[in-house]
Amino acid sequence: MKRQIVAIRLAIALALTLSVSSFAFAQDMKGDDMKGMDMSGGTMGAGNMPQMSGAVSPDPANMKEGEMEAMSGGPEMDHDMHMGSNGSMKNMSKHMTYTALRPENAADKDRAASIVTDLQRALTRYQDYHAAEAAGFKPFHPELRQQKVVHFTKNWYGLKAAFVFNPDEPTSLLYERTPDGGYKLIGAMYTDRKNATEDQLNERVPLSVARWHRHINLCFPARGTDMKTADWTKFGFNGSIATKADCDAVNGRFYPQVFGWMVHVYPWEQNAKLVWAH
């Protein structure tokens, strides 16, 4: 009974802490009607985030706790940068910031290799995406059919990650779509809270090996805007607007930062430089 009480208190504390960082953004996004839209239509930009009319960024107001921390501009964006994607990257860089790459050292390489080994072992059970779903990982907006990679997110792991780092418990699993309509497991995503320092991130995954990233300087349409007709070449995660002044000029809503820090890892990549995608 005592253990159960402790677990309940921890869960409440986790939820309340992360709610503070995400509540304002989620509340402000409420009222943006995205229902009834053809989520498979439109033109997708780099990272496969929707940017044109007919397909828009998923509504943060409908996200559950943990999903706010888990959502990314698209792990496939990082991966495709190395794999030769031809997608336009000109606006994505306006909304992403990375940790500085620290000098290499043997200790960090060993620590990173240990994380990868632990992750490979942990992911064995999730090769079949049905097993991942049974374990509580839910696909994040799979209706966006043009996404090559889909996040399967476990909200509880996202909450726990704000306090402790466990290589065996990534916030999201990264599945690549297969021609037969299924998914192939290719990697995972770790997350940390919004205000984590670089030194704190380095304690989790060494910054000489990997570069954590976060999403910044985002402008969303004014409240009440018909999201089906909004110009997503200007708004959102791949939009051209990246300053408060420009956002104010179009009566938009500006967010200096949304979501927490995140880092992607592809533990089965043969090229060591692609294991931790920068």
The domain limits of the chain are 2-274
Residue with tokens 């809270």: 193
Nearest-10 Cα torsion for 171, 237, 76, 101: -80
Model confidence band, residue 126 (pLDDT cutoffs 50, 70, 90):
very high
Model confidence band, residue 278 (pLDDT cutoffs 50, 70, 90):
low
The pair of three-digit structure tokens given for residue 12, joined into one six-digit string: 């409440």
Q: Residue 156 and residue 11: Cα distance in Å, rounded? A: 9
User: Residue 258, SS3?
Assistant: strand
Q: Residue 95 and residue 54: Cα distance in Å, rounded? A: 22
Interacting residues of 81 by C-beta distance below 8 A, sequence separation 6+: 89, 277
Q: Which of these ranges, 66-75, 132-141, 198-207, 246-255, has the smallest mean pLDDT?
A: 66-75
Interacting residues of 192 by C-beta distance below 8 A, sequence separation 6+: 161, 162, 165, 200, 201, 204, 212, 260, 261, 262
140 and 172 in contact (C-beta within 8 Å)?
yes
Q: Residue 144 and residue 142: Cα distance in Å, rounded? A: 5
Q: Residue 94 class from Cβ within 10 Å (0-12 exposed, 13-18 middle, 19+ buried)?
A: middle
Beta bridge partners of 255: 218
- Identify which of 192, 29, 201, 220 has the alpha carbon closest to the alpha carbon of residue 112: 201
pTM score above 0.85: no
Average of per-residue pLDDT across 186-204: 96
Residue 72 has pLDDT above 60, yes or no: no
Residue 87 has pLDDT above 80, yes or no: no
